[in-house]
Structures are given as C-alpha cells and as structure tokens.
Amino acid sequence: MEDSTALLIERYRQNDPTAFTQLVSRYHSLVFGVCMRCLRHRQDAEDVTQETFSRVARYLDRWDTRRPIEPWLATIAGNRCRTYLSRHRSPIVSPLPIEPAGTHAEHQIAEQTLREEIGLALSQQPANHRMAFRLFHDQAMNYAEIAERLDCPIGTAKTWVHRARTGLMQQLVAREVLAGAPKHRSKGDSPGKELSRRNHHHSEGPE
C-alpha cells in the first residue's frame, strides 16, 4: 500500500532520502504536463520540471499537509515556465503559455489555496500594517477613514497600506504563489540588444 502524500512529506521532514523521490514519481506527470502545455517543447519541459521540483524541495518543510498539494505544484510549474520563457525566448516568436484546463472543483481548490496563502503571508506583516491593509481592501475605507480609525496621520495610514501590500507580494513571490516581476531592460538597451542577449542565453541552455 502506498504512503499518503502527507506521510511522504512527514518522512521527508525526517530526512528520509527516499521520500522525496517517491513524491517526484507520484507527481511528475502532473508537473510535466503543465510544463509541456506551456512550453510545447519536450526538452524544455523536462528541464523546467526538474527546476520545479527543486523549488518544491526548498519549501516543502513549510507545507500544510492538510491541504491538497496539486494546485501548489501546478502554480510553481506555471511560474517556472513563465520565467523560462522570459529568459530564453523572444516574446515575438514564442507561443503564449497555455494554462492547463481544469475542472470547476480544481479551480475552487486553487482559489482556496490562494486565499490561504494570502492570509498566511498577511499574518506575517506588522499588526498596524495588517490592520490598515484590511481596512483599505476588505472594508473599502479611504485613507482618511483609516487614519481616524487607527488614530494616526493620513500619511502614516498610506505608508502602512503600501508596506503591507509590498510585504505581502514579496511573501507570495518567495513562496512561488505568484511569479516574480520580469526584469526590465536597462536604459541604454535597445530591443535588438535584448533579443540578441535572449538568443545567447538560449544557446547556453537553462540556467
């Protein structure tokens, strides 16, 4: 009888060298399928699948085993694909990533996972930042109303909301819930130089 995913994760946390290998074997087809639909190239998909599981290994210690792991794996794979495309392919000639089709239930699970990740990331922000953020986004208060509620200057209320939003995004990117922002070209770069640099990186293979 196969171990449950939760048990495999627990074994991994206890430094069982075979546990992660079994997890990869169990979910390889899911991750590889996402990568193939996004990249449409087998070797690229294999490379990004390997990178996806490397990312998973970094954060698996913190995974809540009461939650389904599939939406998280698919999210990381999709983000890795977008990063790969931005680094290795010209946006002019590259096919657009195709999001894997899912059932209504799968979308509900993904949405619930995102809500939980946002709640977790927000809980790690300072209390005054978190409260200002919730008043602004959940209760649709303006900055003057927030300042009055929290007994602080309006400028401080704006700062708290901004810092909470910035901290929240950084947490979500670090946990691979959201893809990181693409790097912008430096001021002196022309589109031709950028395309040449992308082609050079592509010839060297995945980073």
Q: Are residues 147 and 157 in contact, defined by beta-carbon separation less than 8 angstroms? A: yes
Residue 18 lies in a domain: yes
Residue 165 lies in a domain: no
Residue 58 lies in a domain: yes
Range of the domain at 43: 1-101
Q: What is the pLDDT along the chain (207 residues), one digit of tens a residue?
A: 467 899 999 999 999 989 999 999 999 999 999 899 888 889 999 999 999 999 899 888 888 888 888 888 888 888 888 888 887 765 433 344 444 444 444 455 556 666 767 777 788 889 999 899 989 988 888 999 999 999 999 999 999 999 998 988 887 777 666 655 444 444 444 334 433 444 443 333 333
Q: Are residues 44 and 83 in contact, defined by beta-carbon separation less than 8 angstroms? A: no
Residue 28 lies in a domain: yes
Residue 189 lies in a domain: no
Residue 203 lies in a domain: no
What's the pLDDT at 97?
41
Domain count, the chain: 1
Q: Are residues 3 and 11 in contact, defined by beta-carbon separation less than 8 angstroms? A: yes
Q: What is the pTM of this model?
A: 0.49
In Å, what is the CA distance from 77 to each residue of 26, 132, 166? 15, 33, 24
Residue 2 lies in a domain: yes
Nearest by Cα to 129 from 106, 152, 105: 152
Nearest by Cα to 99 from 91, 87, 90, 107: 107
Alpha helices of the chain — where are they, by DSSP H?
Answer: 5-13, 19-39, 42-59, 70-88, 104-123, 127-137, 143-150, 154-174, 191-204
In Å, what is the CA distance from 7 to each residue of 37, 70, 167, 176? 30, 15, 32, 23
Residue 191 lies in a domain: no
CATH number, position 4: 1.10.1740.10
Maximal CA-CA distance, the chain: 62
